[in-house]
Amino acid sequence: MEEQQEIEALRKELEQANYEYYVLDCPVMSDYDFDHKLRRLEELEAAHPEMADPSSPTQRVGGKVADGFAEVVHRVPLESLQDVFAPEETTEFVQRVEEALSGGAEYDVEPKVDGLSVALEYRDGVFVRGATRGDGQVGEDVTENLRTVRSIPMALPEKLSSLIVRGEIYMPKKVFEELNTDLELRGKALFANPRNAAAGSLRQHDPKIAAARRLDIQVFNIQYAEGKEFTTHTETLEYLQSQHFKVIPHMVCHTIQEISQEIGCIGERREDYPFDIDGAVVKLNSLSGRTVLGSTAKFPRWAVAYKYPPEQKPSKVVDIVVQVGRTGVLTPKAVIEPVRLAGTTVTNATLHNQDFITEKDIRIGDTVMVQKAGEIIPEIVSVLKDERPDGTVPYHLPDHCPVCGAPVVRDEDGAHIRCTGAECPAQLLRHLVHFASRDAMDIEGLGPAVVEALVKADLVHGPGDLYHLGTGEVSKLDRMGKKSAENLIMALERSKENDLSRLLFAFGIRQVGQKAAKVLAVRFQTMDALMEATEETLTEVPDIGGITAKSIVEWFQSPQSLHLVETLREAGVNMVSREAPAGDKLAGKTFVLTGTLEHFTRDEASTKIEAQGGKVSGSVSKKTSYVVAGESAGSKLKKANELGIPVLSEAELIQLLDEA
């Protein structure tokens, strides 16, 4: 059958291209050809579902969304390693091995990837299951997520009936930086380090999210191989390489001197690896020797993990500079005299925030001890106060943004100090991304990548500039043709007609989320009326407390905010509420909805209640006025009965709304 042959040929060709690109780092097929062939394969597989194959390259994006992870009992335990922290301990390990084996042993030394350990299982050369290490005996089935890791081969050249290999999943440093940049632009919490990012990505219940995170793997062990014999660890690594796995870099050593030298070299090269490392692994090369040595209850006796001690050196604080991040957070950074740490020259050290500076009493002119936190970020460990020169003064962050001059405020629930400028250049990307987001102005086609391209091209300096863009200049941006540019311009025009509530949320005023923005728009009806409102007037509005009222008034008093409003007004952006003012017949009443309603969705019922001044809560308490119970009402109805709170049927709610 011709189509079956074409499917098989395309799968083989695309898998080879994946191997050349993701494992060998030597792409032969162009991105265009790859995408074209992949699309053809998708079309063929869609037309012939009977030829579906989970190992097909088309399944790399992840399809099935899992409800949970099934347990996997490891056929061979995934043991952890005993840590050693000093050269003397490494020497003691080698001496124990030499004594047990009567000398002459070889050792394999590898970087220890700081990631998430997994077992990959193949049957007849096809990947069938992947699991996390878990406790070493039982892990979690993350097969669908592992299919999205491009460097894991789905089919092997040699079709062993059963093969289980072990590797370390990691997020490449470059991908980690890009991911955190995107999260920062979207105002979301950042990952602390690549390991946390990798672990969080691998345990996503939606494989498409894992696929987008571009995880990678370093394979370092054969756990089980049916019908294949090996004598040394290096033989197993060579075999894995021949089967298209991405294999850990390694070096064979014969003496403690060679081992120590290689450990030192790995430490010096740590910045060159695409992955983070947290040590070096020393393994006995002989597999029969490993059998002789065996394992303790916790660790194998034939391997150890050497953990690099954080290297600390003194340096002098030359200056303290303040950077403004994309979310407006002021981050202090110490400029220090150059010092060599963990293989690189360090000239800056993070100071985190004002609390950190105050706690350690760090001043310009101080001599400080510096180390790399987690072997990545330089930080100040302590101040050598005996060496402090005369005339130094405690350091305090500025009370105005160093970029735009707007006042700064401290977060109520944290140590961050943040710029309040509505047009702060440092926050431009984040402001624009939020402004265009689905829940704000909902400008289709204006995602982070396009926003960044517009800013880099110097076409946009604030939200108002978006509405003066032309098709011609937008179409010249990377990956933006004429049609995409036309669609974006039309989306911008449509957004001008949005309700006032969307615009208020798009401003990004502190404490003003979607719900508060809607309440404000309905209550004040126009932008001008809201701008004239006092704190006292605002606190009379349901759900607007004193802190939120103060934040709104201060925002509208800022020259940057006033300028932003005027530029949008001049561009023709709507500044009037499309919704009628709320009534007050249900003012002071709190409703809780439970069960399934016949005539409304819960959102529709909530909107009608709020339109009459009522409030809708998600939980029942003594302050609840009514519980509206639909079909299959559960615990909320039970609690209402226990507290003696009036319960309304849907018909009674409709009658109450009609009367209001």
Q: How far apart are CA 131 and CA 140, in angstroms?
A: 5
For residue 651, the SS3 value is: helix
CA atoms within 13 A on the CB side of 306: 27
Q: What is the pLDDT of residue 62?
A: 44
The pLDDT of residue 563: 95
3-state SS assignment for residue 616: strand
This prediction has a pTM of 0.64
Question: How many Cα neighbours within 13 Å face the side chain of 327?
Answer: 17
Count, residues in the chain:
660
- The band of 50, judged by pLDDT with boundaries at 50, 70 and 90, is confident
Residue 271, number of CB atoms within 10 A of its CB: 12
- Closest C-alpha among 5, 51, 274, 17 to residue 154: 17
Q: What is the 3-state secondary structure (H, E, C) of 226-250?
A: CCCCCCEHHHHHHHHHHCCCCECCC
Residue 375 has pLDDT above 70, yes or no: no
Listed range (26-40, 201-215, 352-366, 486-500) with the worst mean pLDDT: 26-40
- Rounded to an integer, what distance in angstroms lies between the CA atom of residue 265 and that of residue 276? 15
| Residue pair 108/238 in contact by the 8 Å Cβ criterion | no
- Evaluate whether 130 touches 120 at the Cβ level (below 8 Å): yes
| End-to-end Cα spacing for the chain | 71
**Of 437, 512, 140, nearest in space to 131 by CA:** 140
Strand, coil or helix: what is 433? helix
Nearest C-alpha neighbor of 305 from the set 77, 82, 136: 82
Of 608, 615, 547, 538, the residue nearest 579 (C-alpha):
608
Query: Between vectors from CA 541 to CA 540 and to CA 546, what angle results, nearest 5°?
Result: 65
Neighbour tally for 490: CB within 10 Å:
13
Dig out the tokens for 333 from the structure.
């950074």
pLDDT score for 582: 63
Instruction: Report the alpha-carbon distance of residue 274 to residue 402 in Å, rounded.
Output: 35
63: pLDDT strictly greater than 50: no
The label of the residue with tokens 């909805």 reads 593
Average pLDDT (564-588) is 87
For the chain, give the percent of residues with pLDDT over 90. Answer: 55
- What pLDDT, on the 0 to 100 scale, is given for residue 94? 95
112 in catalytic set: yes
pLDDT for 655 equals 87
Range list of H helices, 459-596 = 463-466, 471-475, 482-495, 500-506, 514-524, 527-531, 535-539, 546-557, 559-570
Q: Name the pairing type of β-strands 303-306 and 82-84.
A: parallel
What is the residue type of 262?
Answer: E
What integer pLDDT is reported at residue 67 of this predicted model? 52
DSSP 186: T
> 3-state class of 659 per DSSP?
helix
> Is residue 565's pLDDT more than 90?
yes
Rounded Cα distance between 189 and 196, Å, is: 13
The mean of the pLDDT values for the chain is 88
Q: What is the pLDDT of residues 8-44, one digit of tens each?
A: 888 888 888 777 765 665 667 765 566 667 778 878 8
**64 confidence band (pLDDT: 50, 70, 90):** very low
Per-residue pLDDT, 18 = 72
- Report whether 638 contacts 647 (CB < 8 A): no
Residue found under tokens 């709320």: 582
pLDDT of residue 184: 77
The dihedrals phi and psi of 619, each to the nearest 5 degrees, come to -135, 150
Residue 300 burial (CB count, 10 A): 18
pLDDT digits (tens, 9 = 90+) for 251-274: 999 999 999 999 999 988 888 899
Would you tell me the crossing angle of helices 31-47 and 2-18 to the nearest 10 degrees? 140
Amino acid, single-letter form, for residue 549: A
Rounded (10°) angle between helices 559-570 and 546-557: 70
Which helix (H) or strand (E) element contains residue 119? strand 116-123
- Evaluated on CA atoms 141, 142, 144, 148, the torsion sign reads negative
Q: Of 112, 246, 518, 636, which is the active-site residue?
A: 112
Q: How many CB atoms lie within 10 A of CB 13?
A: 16
- Tell me if 218 sits within 8 A of 170, measured CB to CB: yes
Dihedrals φ, ψ of 91, to 5°? Answer: -60, -40
Query: Residue 495 in 3-state DSSP?
Result: helix
